[in-house]
Chain A
Amino acid sequence: RKEVEQDPGPFNVPEGATVAFNCTYSNSASQSFFWYRQDCRKEPKLLMSVYSSGNEDGRFTAQLNRASQYISLLIRDSKLSDSATYLCVVNSGTGGYNKLIFGAGTRLAVHP
């Protein structure tokens, strides 16, 4: 079983739709969590960090449930430019060092 699990999708949605991605992680000692976005053949780019209190950045909202070891990302009012693979990422490093464990990614395709 992978340490970080995601639904691979693809999610095909029309512009303006709201879409939610879910992710679970198995290492209960993990301390920090992120959503990265990756376009085809490009490097992963940090979309947002995820906090227990939840955080919002424009159309994007991320939530963390430590008890359930569950992370979510909500995208409202989808744009064509949101089409990408969204990677759920968990920092499993210890001793002050960071080791990112990536989920397999969820593909999103936004169509006109």
Chain B
Amino acid sequence: AAGVIQSPRHLIKEKRETATLKCYPIPRHDTVYWYQQGPGQDPQFLISFYEKMQSDKGSIPDRFSAQQFSDYHSELNMSSLELGDSALYFCASSRRQGGETQYFGPGTRLLVL
């Protein structure tokens, strides 16, 4: 079965640079979620989108923005990167109607030097 696809899987950036993470949900899933998991931490909810509209917002820094496109894929844009942004970024997807289970992608490991 198709799973959530994230790209890139690994990313190394320097402070103050920008990064764009991409997420391709499971086919027919209309909702995507972004989570950040720091070393030794639990995943923290950042933001979610349903049908291309932001549906909820968590602890996402103002330096980050995200959007969902017409094909339901989503991108997380991160600017002015800081050392503390180094983390695993997971995308999850679900269907809003008839199912709430979120399926996670393999994550993008971001390292900011």
Contacts and interface: CB of A to CB of B under 8 A. Distances in A.
Given A45-B104, A105-B42, A99 B58 contact: yes
B43 A102 contact: yes
Contacts of A104: 41-42
A43 B42 contact: no
Contacts of A93: 56
Contact of B45 (A43, A96, A99): A99
A44 B104 contact: yes
Interface residues of A, number: 22
B106 A46 contact: no
A44 B43 contact: yes
Contacts of A102: 42-44
In which size bucket is the chain B interface? 20 to 34
B50 A97 contact: yes
A91 B105 CA distance: 19
A24 B101 CA distance: 20
Given A43-B106, A105-B42, 15 more contacts: A42-B106, A43-B90, A44-B90, A91-B100, A93-B56, A97-B50, A97-B96, A98-B31, A98-B96, A99-B33, A99-B45, A100-B43, A100-B45, A103-B42, A104-B41
